[in-house]
Structure 1
Amino acid sequence: MDASTPLKRSSTEADLDSPKSSALPQPRPTPKISKARACAECKRHKIRCEFRAGESNCTKCIRSGIKCVVNDFSQKFVDDDGIWKSEATASIQQLQAAVSQLLSQAGLPDLSSYTVGDTRNGPSPVTSHNTHRSSIGTSHPHTSHQEGPGVVMDVTREPSQEADLQNPDLVPAPMRSLYEVTKLSNLRNNHTEAPRKTLLEEDFITRGLISIHEAEELFAYFSRTMNQLLWGGIILVHHDLTSVRRASTLLSAAVLTVAALHIPNRTATLNRCYSEYVSLVSSMALTRAHTLDDIRGLCVGAFWLSELSWKLSGHAVRIATEMGLHQSYQRLTRGHTDQYKRAQLWYLLYVCDHHFSIAYGRPPVIHEDIAIRNCETFLELPMVVSGDFRLLAQVALFTILTEAYRMFGSDTEQALIESDFNQLRVYNVAVDQWRLLWQPRSADSPYVRTYPSKGVVLHYHFAKFQLNSLSLRGLSPSNTPSFSMDRKESANIAISSAIACLNMVLEEPDIRDAIVGVPIFTHTMVTFSAAFLIKVAMNWNSAYLSINARQVRQIVERVIELMNCVSAGERHLTRHIARGLGKMLERFDSWEAAWQVGASDGSTVDARDIPGGTNAMAQGFPPPDLIYDMVGTYGFGLDENLLDPSMANFEFLAQ
């Protein structure tokens, strides 16, 4: 074999010399599936099957006028595979959408934050709104129970970076350090979420619980009345129903419930809205995702729904502190103007908390922190509105009353000693100065006219009455010989202030016109004033106090007439106040008649001898459960037929 003849190399040698050689066999390429479209007719005649552009039948079948049927099993496999994949993709997308919605309702992280094998895929510690339909003091027939193994505690670690050991913040909150070390998600604080954009499509109005037309009407009524009475509309910052529905279903339910309560002949609407509101409040009890509008929704209910007021105000304060609202004032003073609404809401919560701590004779939750002590600095900000002055006036007043509460306590059996009256005069002077400062700063309103400035005067009389009524706390007419001049002076101030409260409600047109829409604190103090005067006239006349029984009866009669004549819903608090005061007045008239008979024959009459009469003036500060104890709605018998059977758990004055 000569040199010019090429050598034939074996396949083994060629593989060894090849730069791509490998000891492992190379994978075989995946065979391509044929997509031949020869129809059955052409295959039968063994001829070529031709298709023209845009035609679904071959040329032979067209000429023969028969149906062109493709008989290719490989193509059928490709088509079936494509159909299965498209169906599977659609199913996965549906599941992802459903899971995302459930996570959003439960306040859990977005679906994209979950990975395969993530421990957070286990049962969530937070239940959805539809799972927990139980309410505060209310049971619903449609309560559903969670099935399965039950709720488990979340011990998930956050996928966040490790702690920065050089962080200059050396003294954080203790729980923050615990979270920094453990990374447990259930230890996170200040956890909030933005309002969901699908609330409007899922809320109780969309579900048909109430028509959109009636909802618009109720919203408009609340906006121009109750919202304006409560410090110029700062509690409801939304100008239309659609906006508030998108922001917070809880707030929209609260607004419609309160509006339905104030409008006559809306009992059925009130029932539905109230049930929805209580259900929403219950479902959010253990969640951590809240907004400022959710807090406003709790406050709206607290200010106007008497049977829920104490629980709602406390719940709102707890959520607000979790969201850091108590720190908003400091941030605002450091130049963060975006904290204005949050600081304003903190002041509103302070007043809401103290409305009911004072009314129920219980210690308040919010103390006088730096924001409360420096409220004047807040009013110097350029973005404040007239409603802020009205709100901060209340803050300043309740600061005085809270200090007196801490000084004298709320023990109904603890009478003031003589040395206490010096401090009581200090508080009286502070209230006098409060009126001089804040009445000129309260501007008139186009909605409620002179109510802002006249309201300052009304609350001035409330405060003077509250403070000086303590002079009779824990005493009875049997120890009147030891009645000192200081005690008698203070008691007479309480009497004159109570009369002034009632006269303002009766004589001032803007106060009288607003008496239906005001928060229940005003109703409480009006009731307290009337009941106080009746009891003093019956029990303390022998102490030679400045009180006239006939004048008391006349003024209370006028208050009852006003409460009966106002335009309000059948379950409004004014109806119960009128009924309770009427029962008290009947017993007062019986006592007065017996006293006149006794005066004519020289005998004495004790109030204890009158059916339903009272003896001790054991006031708290003011007495616990004001309306209930002072009006005597229960002791004098509440008409049980007033409430529909369907509203057995909807008693604004629950027995």
Structure 2
Amino acid sequence: MRMALDLGLHRALEKLADADGAKKRSEEEERNLVVSARIWLCLYWFDHQMSLGTGRPIVLRDESSIRHCRLLLSHPMASPTDVRLISQVELIAQKTQIYETLSPLNGQVNHNTLSFIRRANIALDKWYADCDELHRQTMDEEALPRKILVGELHYAKLWLVCVALRGVSWDKMPFEQRELAFQAKDAASNCLSNLLDSHTYRAALRYAVHDTLVMAAFSGLFLLKMANLFPAELDLGQITVQVEQLAQLLSDVAAERYALTLRIMLANLRRKVGLPPAWRPRRPWWAWRDAPGRRGPGRGDDGPAAAVVHRPEHRAPAAVHGRGGRRVGARPAHVQPGVDPALAPGTVVYGSLTGVVRVHVQSLTDLGLPQNGSDGIFLNVGHTNGWMGDFPPMPEAW
């Protein structure tokens, strides 16, 4: 970023907006300005995204440097990907304004806060309408960039409420804060439905950047938090199915850090509300739906029905002994999460055939956004600062 500032890239868009200067520039100079503008916009987005995701201060605070970003869309040297870049920059600028307004309040939701949240939601809807119109000119409704745009809208609305509710005590929520929490629940569910119901989006997830994986995983985690806090007011069956499908999808794209966190939280929820444990299918659920010429239910071991049959040879042993003589449920070739009543409340035991790991999940009662972003939510697997246990190596691309 400092190199970009030294090179003057932050002035590239301003120079492109200068009509008089354009007449004096050669084609090569014009091309260099366009490239410089794109680099600067990417740096601006990355800096702000890292700040919102980790809690560190923003470095590039000159909002005037992106004021003319839409000039790229009508420029003769415009690229098809400029639409996506512009939409990202405009969204992160709005999210930065939201964060800087709500974060100092530390969960104090009053009339002015609610009014700001309503205005922010309207602004997000307008951002989506404007950017989707730009995408619609060259893409159909099922195109990946448009699906991503929909997901980002729902996640931004979820994120907005999580920033507003940071530090709020869930058992003392007034009506206004509860309404915000349920609005965020709808946004999280819509975000996951947009991903899980789109074959194009799912297929592209294996190439996704870290932020896209966090977006999906955090949405699932928020649904589990809401189900944990308000089990009588939500459809627990729908939530658990959505989160199970998401966890399987994340495992399939080597994002095991997020999948494992979701499975542990889901197991904790099942134990708390008395839901029966789920068995993971041998193939992901969308493989049956998307496979051409798939067999119907009950037509042999390759059909969907066979994937969910509880065969005797697949049943887990009653228990194995973990450290300290505790009995920890397990199943062959997999580890199984659960809650050990002998431990402190809010502690999950994740046992394998040879060991046990304790994971604290007090965050299930906190609907706010942690100060340190995703590192304060998701487990670190296989790292020196992460879990210690006798786990087999897990696929991890991120």
1:587 lines up with 2:274 in the alignment: no
Q: Deviations over 1:394-431 (max 9, x none)?
A: 111111111101101267x5433342010111000000
| Alpha-carbon distance in 2 for matches of 1:356, 1:347 | 14
| Alpha-carbon distance in 1 for matches of 2:388, 2:258 | 11
- Counterpart of 1:614 in structure 2 is 362
Match of 1:455 among 120, 124, 148: 148
Q: CA deviation at 1:474?
A: 1.5
- Checking the alignment, whether the CA contact within 8 Å between 1:350 and 1:366 is kept in structure 2 is yes
Q: CA deviation at 1:638?
A: 6.2
Q: CA deviation at 1:457?
A: 0.8
Q: CA deviation at 1:498?
A: 0.5
| Alpha-carbon distance in 1 for matches of 2:137, 2:365 | 39
| Alpha-carbon distance in 2 for matches of 1:564, 1:429 | 35
- Checking the alignment, whether the CA contact within 8 Å between 1:320 and 1:326 is kept in structure 2 is yes
- Counterpart of 1:520 in structure 2 is 210
Q: Give matches, 1:590-605, under 5 Å.
A: 590-593=271-274
Letter aligned with residue 465 of structure 1: L
| Alpha-carbon distance in 2 for matches of 1:409, 1:458 | 23
Relative distance call for 1:592 and 1:616 in structure 2 (3 A) is closer
- Counterpart of 1:425 in structure 2 is 118
Relative distance call for 1:528 and 1:508 in structure 2 (3 A) is same
1:361 lines up with 2:55 in the alignment: yes
Match of 2:37 among 343, 346, 357: 343
Q: Give matches, 1:450-599, under 5 Å.
A: 450-480=143-173, 483-484=174-175, 486-541=176-231, 544=233, 547-566=234-253, 572=254, 574-593=255-274
Q: CA deviation at 1:619?
A: 5.2
Letter aligned with residue 464 of structure 1: K
SS class of match (1:624): coil
| Alpha-carbon distance in 2 for matches of 1:510, 1:588 | 31
Relative distance call for 1:619 and 1:325 in structure 2 (3 A) is farther
Equivalent pairs, count: 305
Q: CA deviation at 1:368?
A: 4.5
- Checking the alignment, whether the CA contact within 8 Å between 1:458 and 1:504 is kept in structure 2 is yes
Q: CA deviation at 1:357?
A: 1.5
TM-score, length of structure 1 as denominator length = 0.43
Letter aligned with residue 358 of structure 1: L
Relative distance call for 1:368 and 1:491 in structure 2 (3 A) is farther
Q: CA deviation at 1:497?
A: 0.6
- Checking the alignment, whether the CA contact within 8 Å between 2:191 and 2:219 is kept in structure 1 is yes
- Counterpart of 1:215 in structure 2 is none
Q: CA deviation at 1:449?
A: 7.1
Relative distance call for 1:372 and 1:575 in structure 2 (3 A) is same
Sequence identity percentage:
25
| Alpha-carbon distance in 2 for matches of 1:589, 1:636 | 25
Relative distance call for 1:438 and 1:341 in structure 2 (3 A) is same
Relative distance call for 1:405 and 1:558 in structure 2 (3 A) is same
Letter aligned with residue 552 of structure 1: I
Relative distance call for 1:416 and 1:632 in structure 2 (3 A) is farther
- Checking the alignment, whether the CA contact within 8 Å between 1:476 and 1:616 is kept in structure 2 is no
| Alpha-carbon distance in 1 for matches of 2:120, 2:151 | 17
Letter aligned with residue 118 of structure 2: R
Q: CA deviation at 1:376?
A: 2.4
Match of 2:377 among 609, 616, 630: 630
SS class of match (1:523): helix
**Which structure shows the bigger proportion of residues in strand conformation?**
2
Q: CA deviation at 1:556?
A: 0.7
Letter aligned with residue 626 of structure 1: G
- Counterpart of 1:301 in structure 2 is none
SS class of match (2:50): helix
- Counterpart of 2:334 in structure 1 is none
| Alpha-carbon distance in 1 for matches of 2:272, 2:205 | 30
The structure with more radius of gyration: 1
- Checking the alignment, whether the CA contact within 8 Å between 1:462 and 1:525 is kept in structure 2 is yes
Letter aligned with residue 490 of structure 1: L
- Counterpart of 2:8 in structure 1 is 324
| Alpha-carbon distance in 2 for matches of 1:370, 1:615 | 38
| Alpha-carbon distance in 1 for matches of 2:196, 2:82 | 27
Q: CA deviation at 1:339?
A: 0.8
- Checking the alignment, whether the CA contact within 8 Å between 1:476 and 1:615 is kept in structure 2 is no
SS class of match (2:167): coil
Q: CA deviation at 1:355?
A: 2.1
Relative distance call for 1:615 and 1:376 in structure 2 (3 A) is closer
Relative distance call for 1:628 and 1:445 in structure 2 (3 A) is farther
Letter aligned with residue 354 of structure 1: H
Letter aligned with residue 345 of structure 2: D
- Checking the alignment, whether the CA contact within 8 Å between 2:13 and 2:65 is kept in structure 1 is yes
- Checking the alignment, whether the CA contact within 8 Å between 1:353 and 1:365 is kept in structure 2 is yes
| CA RMSD in angstroms, aligned pairs only | 3.1
| Alpha-carbon distance in 1 for matches of 2:245, 2:104 | 31
Letter aligned with residue 371 of structure 2: P
Q: CA deviation at 1:642?
A: 5.3
- Checking the alignment, whether the CA contact within 8 Å between 1:560 and 1:581 is kept in structure 2 is yes
- Checking the alignment, whether the CA contact within 8 Å between 2:10 and 2:40 is kept in structure 1 is yes
Q: CA deviation at 1:530?
A: 1.1
Gap runs ≥5 in structure 2: 277-343, 349-360
Q: Deviations over 1:436-475 (max 9, x none)?
A: 11112125989x9701111111111111111122343212
Relative distance call for 1:452 and 1:616 in structure 2 (3 A) is closer
Gap runs ≥5 in structure 1: 1-316, 567-571, 596-607, 645-650
Letter aligned with residue 507 of structure 1: D
TM-score, length of structure 2 as denominator length = 0.68
Q: CA deviation at 1:360?
A: 1.7
Letter aligned with residue 161 of structure 2: N
| Alpha-carbon distance in 2 for matches of 1:382, 1:510 | 30
- Checking the alignment, whether the CA contact within 8 Å between 1:583 and 1:636 is kept in structure 2 is no
Relative distance call for 1:455 and 1:588 in structure 2 (3 A) is same
Match of 1:393 among 83, 87, 99: 87
| Alpha-carbon distance in 1 for matches of 2:59, 2:365 | 28
